[in-house]
Amino acid sequence: MTIRRRDLLTGTALVLVGERLASAEVISGSLPWRPDAGAPPEAVTPGPWKFFTNEEAVMVEALVDRIIPPDPQTPGGKGAGCAVYLDRQLAGGYGHNEGLYNLPPFKEGSKQQGPQSEKVLADQYREWLAALDRYCQSQGGKHFAEFPAERQDEILQGLESKTVKLEGTDGGKFFEQLLKDTQEGFFADPIYGGNRDMCAWKMIGFPGARYDYRDWVARHNERYPHPPVSIGGGRADWTQR
Amino acid sequence: MARKLPSKDVVIVGLGWTGSILANELTDEGLSVAAIERGPWRDTATDFPPTYIQDELRYRIRHELFLRPSQTTFTFRNKQSETALPIRTWGAFMPMNGVGGGGVHWNAETWRFLPSDFVLRTHLTQRYGARFLPADMTIQDYGLTYDDLEPHYDAFEYLCGTSGTAGNLKGKIQEGGNPFEGPRSRPYPTPAQEQPFGPALFAKAAREMGYKPFPQPSGNLSQPYRNPLGVRLGACSYCGYCEWFGCANYSKASPQTTILPVLVRKPNFQARDNSEVTRINLDPSGKRATGVTFVDTNGNEWEQPADLVILSAFTIFNVQLLLLSKIGKPYDPQTNQGVIGRNFTHQTVSNIHAFFDKSKFIFNPFISSGSIGMCVDEFNGDNFDHGPHGFVGGGYFGQVQTSGRPIQNTLVPPGTPRWGAKWKEGVRDSYLSTLNPGTGVHGSMYSYRDVYTDLDPTYRDRLGRPLVRITMDFHENELKQNAFITDKMAEVYHAMGAQQVVKLTRKGPYDITQYQTTHLNGGAIMGTDPKTSALNRYLQSWDVPNVFVTGASAFPQNAGYNPTGTVGALAYWAAAAIRSKYLKSPGPLVHA
Amino acid sequence: MRDLRRQLAGALGAAWFATACAPHLAVADNQPSGQDFSLIERGRYLAVLADCTGCHTDPNSEVQFGGGRSIETPFGNVLASNITPDNDTGIGAWSDDEFDAAVRFGKRPDGKLLYPAMPYPYYTHMSRADIVAIRAWLNTLPSVHNPVDENQLPFPFNIRTGMHAWDGLYFSPGSVKPNPNKSAQWNRGAYLVLGPGHCAACHTPKTTLGGDVSARPLQGSPLQGWFAPDITASEALGLGKWSVEDIVAYLKTGHNRFSAATGPMAEEVADSTSHINAADLEAIAVFLKDQAGPSASGGTPLSAHDPAMVAGGAIYLDRCAACHREDGKGIPFLIPDLALASSVASREPTSLLRVVVHGSQSVATAGEPTAPAMPAFGWQLTDAQIAAVTTFVRNSWGHAAPATSSGEVHDVRERGKAMAD
C-alpha cells in the first residue's frame, strides 16, 4: 500500500510522519513504504529532573560519581550525565516496567526464576534511595552527598558485600541495579543523557554509531583513527567552519 | 463472534523464515496463501535504518525488536517439584516478534548438522552401547538422514548467499573448511568473510595446536549477491550491530532480504500483520483442520478458513498452539506418554574472557558481524571418542566475537574491582585488547524425560490463554561436555598469548536470567513412531494430516550447532513433500 | 468468434476479457474490424508505450482507466478523465475521429481544448492508425460509471479558451518525420521518445507558461517536487556515461549498475517501460545517446578545503558510506553509485534532496524485485548539514555543481510535509 502524491493533493490519504500504524494491515502487491517513516529515538534534552526530587538527584549524582569517579582525562558519572540518564529512564517506560509481564500472582521464587517483584523499578528506586538516606542519617546525621569520598566508597562497598543493611529493603539488590544502570548510562549513546560528548567512548576508543569498517577488517593490530559518532548528530567536523 | 474471511488454500501461522519459505514454495504451486503474523511488518529502511539502528541500549539491552513479555511469555521451573513462575523479563532466551521473525535479528550463523546428528540414538548405541547413555536421556533419530536433507541445505544456503569455505565437497575434504562436515554437493554461494584480528590470531594458534580451524559459515555476506529468486543482497560492512539488530544495508540474510520482495508481488499471496493466531480450528472429528482463528490489535476475532495449515510460529508457540488446539496428545513426564511438549531442549554454551597486553594487541572488537569468527569442530557431535570422557554430545568452539558494543564488552581482568577508579582505569586499558567471544563454546543439549513443556495451571496471557510452562534443568552429561570443551578452548587463548584467561564454564542449575542463545527446540518433534513423536518425517502432524509444523520444535534433541540452517533445510524438505506428494493426494504421507 | 475470444483471453490473460460486458464498439471507416485481435493487441501495446494508465487509472481503485486521479501542474490540479467505454461518464459515445482529435490535437468533442496535462503535444507525433488501435483496445475494457470533473484549476487557468493562445505558442500538430540519415532503429527510438513515450513532458525544461523550451530538449526539468534529469548524451549532466545496455536495463527493470528509478519514474517504469519489448527499449536508448546536451556541468568542482566540502565529507563518511561506500560506488543494482546516479549529476539538486530528507523506495519489477529503499535523514540532519553533504556529493567523483543552500533543503522539507510519494 503506497500513498501516492496525487492522492494527497486531493486530500484522500493520510500523512504519517515518523509513525507506523499500529493496527493490523493486509499486505499484498508491494512492500509497504512511506516517506519519513520509522521511529527515530527522542534525544534527552537538558532540563529539570523528570523523576528524581532535588534531594534524590543530589544523592544519585554523588552515587554515580563514586561508581565512576572523575579523573583528569574523563568525567565521572556525574559529569558524564549518568544521573540525568537514570532520571529520564525511570521517568519513562523502563521505570514503569513497560512491556514486562505484570500479571499476578506475585511470588518469590528461586534465583534462577528471575525477578518476580510487583513493584515497578521507579518505585523500587524511590524506596531504595529513601532507605539509603535513612541509613546515612543514622551514621552521622548527614546525607550521602555530604560524606567525604572515602566514606561514600565504604558505604557502597558495604552495600555490595551486604555488610551494610538497609532497613526494610534489600541493599544488595539496590547496589547491583544501580551499578548496572550507571554503567549502562555511561556507555550508551549520548542521546540518552549519559556519555556526555561521547566521553566514555573516547576513553576506550569505541567509534560509536559508525557502520562501515570494510576498509579496516584486514588491518590487523592497527589503531582505528576516527573519532566516535553519536546517533544524535555526529561530531564537530559536521559543522562548517 | 469471529468474522469469517474468504477461504484460502493455505494459511501460514507466523511469517518468519519457515513461514516465508513455505509461502513462497506454495504460491509457486498456484495455491492461494494467507500468512498471519502476530507482530508488525518490518522493513529495512523503515525499521532498521543506518541512521538509528546503531543503538546498543535500545536494541540489545532493552531488546526493542523482540516480543514483549506483556504480550505473552512463559513460566519456568527447574524441577517438577517446584512451582513455575512467570518469566517477567527475558533473560535466557528472547523470542522474536514481527514479520521476518528471528531472521531479522539473528547472528546469521548458518550451519549444517552432522550426518550422525540425524541418526543419533542408533549411532551412539552402535558406537558406545546402550548403557553408555543416561537412562533418562530420550534422544531419538529424526526419521530422515543428512543425505535426504542435503539438497535442501543447499537450497537454503543459496537462498541466503551464505558465505563460507566448504570442508567436504562430495566426499573430498577441502583445505580451509570444516573437515568434519557432511558432504556438500557444491561450494558455498559466496566466499567466507574476511576475518578481523582476533579470529585470525585464534586460528593461527589453533592450527599450531593441531586443530583445523575454519571460518564460521555466515549469512552476513562477504560480497554482493543475487539469489535464485532474483533478490539482491549487499556486502556486510562489519558494523558490529548485528545480532539483536536488523541489518541496515541489506547484507544480512533474512526473509526481508531474500524472499519477501518477490513474495508480496504474487497475486495469490496476502499477509496480515499485528494479528495473533489464537487457535487452529478442527472439524468435529478432530482429525482435520478447517483453518485458524486470530485476533487483531482491536481485539476483534477473525477466522481464516483454509485447506492446509502450516504452523511456523517458533518452537514454543508451535507447542502452545498445538496444546490449545488439542492437536496431539500432551506429554506427561510421569507416565512418559504423549508427545506434545516432550524432548524440549536449549543449547549448552559457555564463554572465555581473554585479556592481552595492550601494548601488543589491538583487537578493534567493534569491527565485527554476527557470524564472524574462526571455529574448531574437533569436539562436536561424535567427532571424537567419548569413551574415556563419560558424556555424549559436543559443540564447536571459536573466537566468534560478534561485537565490541561497550555496555556489554567493557570487561576488566580478574581481581579488578567492579566499580570505582580502578575499574575505570581497567576498562580504559582493557577494551581494545580483550577478547570476549560471546558463545565461545556452542554445545549440544540432548533431551531428557524431565525437561519438557506443558500448559501452566495458574498464569495466563493478556487474552486469558494459559502460558506455556517450561520445566528445564541441566543434566550431568551436558555440564561435563561443557567443562571439557571450555577447558580446550582456554588452552587456545593461552597459546595466543593472553595474559589472563577466565573460563565461564556453564554450571547448573539452569538459570532463566542468563542469556544462552534463543535456540529452543523440541516439543513437537519429528520421528518414525507416533507414540514418541508429534510429526512424521515430513513435519506432518500424525494426528491432523492437513497440519504441518515447521521450525526447531521438530528437533528431537539439539545438536552442537546453531539451528537455523537445519530449520531452513527442513522447511524446504517439507515444502517439497507437500508439493510433490501431499497436494496430489492429501492425507497422511507416512503410515506408521 | 469463439476462437477469437479464447485467443484473446489466453493472449491477454485477463479473466474479465472473456466476459467483457457489452463492449461499445465504434467501428471506424476503412479500418479492420474493431474486434481484430492484432489491432487490439497493437492498441494495448501502444497504450503501454503511452502510459495511459499512469494518469487515467486511480491507484486506489480496482478498476482501470476510470479516471479521477489528480494531476499536479504548475498551475494547479487537473483530474484525469474516465476513458472507459461508459457512454455517460467515459468515452463510449465518442467516435474514433473525436477520440483522435483529443489525443493528437487536444480538442474535446464539445470543441473545448484540453490542458496539456494530457500530453497531446507529444501524442501528436503518433499516427491516426495508432490512435484507432488504442481506441479498439480501450473499447474492450469494462465500462466504469465514474463522473469526473476534470477542471480543478484555479482562476484564470480554468478558462479553457486560454489554451488557444498556448497552443499557438507551443503546439505543432503532426508527426515527426523520419530522418533519412539515421538508422531505422534510431528513427523508431525517435518516434517512441517524442511520441507515445512523451519523455519531454517531464524531461524538457518548461517556460513560465508551461511550454517546452524547444532549444533545450530533454535537458531536465523540475516536476512535482522532483527534478526529472537530463536524458541527453551529456557526459556531465545526462546519460553520457551510461551505455545502451545501462539505459535498457534501467527502463526494463528500474535498476542498472549504478542507478535506481524512484519517485514519478518508478511509476513510469512499473506501468510502462518495464512492459516495453527489448528492441524498442534499445531503440529508445540509441536515440537518447545521440541527443546533444550541455557539454559542461556547473564548472569546476568546489575545492576539497571548502568548509561545505569538509563538513559534508565528514557527514558522508559517518552516515552515508555504510551503504554508498567511502568511494561512492555503492553496490550494483542495490545501492546507487553516486558518481553516476542521475539525481546527483542533475542541474538542480531537488531529487537528491528529496531522497535524503524524506527517504525513497526504488521501484520493484519482475526483473528486479528487491526495491531497496533509502531511509529518511531529515529528522537527524539539519538543513545546513544536508546542504553540506549534498554539496560534497555533487562535487566529488567527477561531479561539479554549485553548493546546495540551507534554503533549498528547507523548501524540500516543507513541501514534503504536505505530500508523500
C363-405 residue pLDDT tens: 999 999 999 999 999 999 999 999 999 999 999 999 999 999 9
Q: Do A214 and B49 touch (CB under 8 A)?
A: no
Lowest model confidence (mean pLDDT) among A35-44, A171-180, C164-173, C280-289: C164-173
User: Does residue B329 form part of some domain?
Assistant: yes
User: Does residue B340 form part of some domain?
Assistant: yes
Residue C2 scores a pLDDT above 60:
no
Q: How far is A141 from chain B (nearest CA, A)?
A: 25
> pLDDT at position B331, please?
98
Residue B204 scores a pLDDT above 90:
yes
> pLDDT at position C12, please?
44
Domain containing residue A93: 50-98+117-241
How far apart CA B155 and CA B161 sit, in angstroms, is: 10
> pLDDT at position B65, please?
95
B233 touches chain C (CB under 8 A): yes
Q: What is the pLDDT of residues C179-213, one digit of tens each?
A: 999 999 999 999 999 999 999 999 999 998 888 99
C91 conformational bin, left if phi > 0, alpha if psi -120 to 50, beta if neither: alpha
DSSP string, C330-364: -BTTTB--TTT-HHHHSSS-HHHHHHHHH-EE---
Phi, psi of B264 (to 5 degrees): -65, -20
> pLDDT at position C36, please?
81
Q: What is the pLDDT of residues B312-321, one digit of tens each?
A: 999 999 999 9
B247 touches chain C (CB under 8 A): no
User: Does residue A24 form part of some domain?
Assistant: yes
A residues 80-139 lying closer than 8 A (beta carbon) to B: 94, 98-103, 105, 107, 109-116
Sign of CA dihedral B531, B533, B538, B542: positive
Measure the CA dihedral B17/B19/B24/B28, to 10°: 150
Question: How large is the ipTM?
Answer: 0.95
> pLDDT at position A23, please?
60
Considering chain A, what percentage of its residues have pLDDT values greater than 70? 90
A87 and A6 inside one domain = no
How far apart CA C174 and CA C178 sit, in angstroms, is: 12
A226 closest CA partner among A217, A216, A239 = A216
Whether the CB-CB separation of B237 and C322 falls below 8 Å is answered with: yes
A54 and A38 inside one domain = no
Indicate the SS3 state at residue B578. helix
Kind of pairing, strands B434-435 and C76-79? Answer: unpaired
A223 and A179 inside one domain = yes
How far apart CA B487 and CA A132 sit, in angstroms, is: 43
Indicate the SS3 state at residue B186. coil
Cell numbers given for C110: 464539445
Q: What is the CATH number of the domain that holds B208?
A: 3.50.50.60
Q: What is the average pLDDT value for chain C, to the nearest integer?
A: 88
> pLDDT at position C15, please?
39
Considering chain B, what percentage of its residues have pLDDT values greater than 90? 98
The pTM (predicted TM-score) of the whole model is 0.93
In sequence order, which residues have a C-beta less than 8 Å from that of residue C107 and are 6 or more positions away? C101, C113, C114
Residue B414 scores a pLDDT above 90:
yes
Considering chain C, what percentage of its residues have pLDDT values greater than 90? 69
What are the distances in angstroms from CA B542 to CA B521, B569, C146? 19, 21, 55
> pLDDT at position C31, please?
52
A28 and A65 inside one domain = no
In sequence order, which residues have a C-beta less than 8 Å from that of residue B359 and are 6 or more positions away? none
B residues 48-87 lying closer than 8 A (beta carbon) to C: 49-52
A68 and A9 inside one domain = no
Residue C164 scores a pLDDT above 90:
no
Number of domain units in chain A: 2
Residue type, C185: Q
User: Which chains reach chain B with 3 or more Cβ–Cβ distances below 8 angstroms?
Assistant: A, C
Q: What is the mean pLDDT of residues A36-43?
A: 92
Lowest model confidence (mean pLDDT) among A225-229, B183-187, B569-573, C209-213: C209-213
Residue C18 scores a pLDDT above 90:
no
A80 and A178 inside one domain = yes
Q: Considering only residues C118 and B392, tell me which one the structure prediction assigns the higher pLDDT.
A: B392
Number of domain units in chain B: 1
Whether the CB-CB separation of B74 and B469 falls below 8 Å is answered with: yes
How far apart CA B325 and CA C318 sit, in angstroms, is: 52
> pLDDT at position C6, please?
45
A165 and A182 inside one domain = yes
Interface mutation vs chain B, best among C274, C370, C381, C385, most B CBs within 10 Å: C370
B1 — pLDDT class (breaks 50, 70, 90): confident
Cell numbers given for B569: 533445510
Between B85, B272, B366, which is nearest A26 by CB? B272
A14 and A68 inside one domain = no
> pLDDT at position C34, please?
63
Residue C417 scores a pLDDT above 90:
no
Between B52, B226, B237, which is nearest C322 by CB? B237
A6 and A92 inside one domain = no
Residues linked to residue C223 through DSSP beta bridges, in sequence order: C226
How far apart CA B236 and CA B216 sit, in angstroms, is: 14
How far apart CA B250 and CA B324 sit, in angstroms, is: 38
Q: How far is C377 from chain B (nearest CA, A)?
A: 7
How far apart CA C98 and CA C178 sit, in angstroms, is: 27
Indicate the SS3 state at residue A26. strand
Domain containing residue B470: 3-582
Measure the CA dihedral A238/A239/A240/A241, to 10°: -120
Q: Do C310 and A210 touch (CB under 8 A)?
A: no
Going by the DSSP 8-state scheme, the letter that residue B250 receives in this structure is S
> pLDDT at position C7, please?
43
Residue A167 scores a pLDDT above 60:
yes
> pLDDT at position C252, please?
98
Whether the CB-CB separation of C106 and C163 falls below 8 Å is answered with: yes
How far apart CA B276 and CA B98 sit, in angstroms, is: 11
For cell 532535588, the residue is A54
Radius of gyration of chain A (CA): 23
User: Does residue B588 form part of some domain?
Assistant: no
Residue C420 scores a pLDDT above 60:
no
A16 — pLDDT class (breaks 50, 70, 90): very low
User: Does residue B97 form part of some domain?
Assistant: yes
In sequence order, which residues have a C-beta less than 8 Å from that of residue C24 and are 6 or more positions away? C85, C87, C92, C93, C139, C143
Between B76, B195, B404, which is nearest A113 by CB? B76
User: Does residue B591 form part of some domain?
Assistant: no
User: Does residue A89 form part of some domain?
Assistant: yes
> pLDDT at position C334, please?
97
Burial code (b: 16+ CB inside 10 Å, e: under 16) for C131-155 equals bbbbbbbbbbbbbbebebebebbee
> pLDDT at position A66, please?
98
Q: Do C384 and A4 touch (CB under 8 A)?
A: no
A22 touches chain B (CB under 8 A): yes
How far apart CA A1 and CA A16 sit, in angstroms, is: 13
Cell numbers given for B231: 533478490
**Annotated catalytic sites of B, by residue?**
519
User: Which chains reach chain C with 3 or more Cβ–Cβ distances below 8 angstroms?
Assistant: A, B
Q: What is the mean pLDDT of residues C35-39?
A: 84
Interface mutation vs chain C, best among B232, B242, B254, B268, most C CBs within 10 Å: B232
C170 — pLDDT class (breaks 50, 70, 90): confident
Q: What is the mean pLDDT of residues B569-574?
A: 98
Q: Considering only residues B91 and C3, tell me which one the structure prediction assigns the higher pLDDT.
A: B91
Q: What is the pLDDT of residues A100-151, one digit of tens each?
A: 999 999 999 999 999 999 999 999 999 999 999 999 999 988 999 999 999 9
Residue B403 scores a pLDDT above 90:
yes
Between B224, B233, B265, which is nearest C369 by CB? B265
Q: What is the pLDDT of residues C312-324, one digit of tens each?
A: 999 999 999 999 9
A171 and A208 inside one domain = yes
Q: Do C335 and B44 touch (CB under 8 A)?
A: no
User: Does residue B221 form part of some domain?
Assistant: yes
A154 and A68 inside one domain = yes
What are the distances in angstroms from CA C245 to CA B291, B318, B372, C192? 49, 49, 37, 17
User: Does residue A92 form part of some domain?
Assistant: yes
Give me the helices (H) in B56-194, please.
56, 102-105, 115-118, 120-128, 146-160
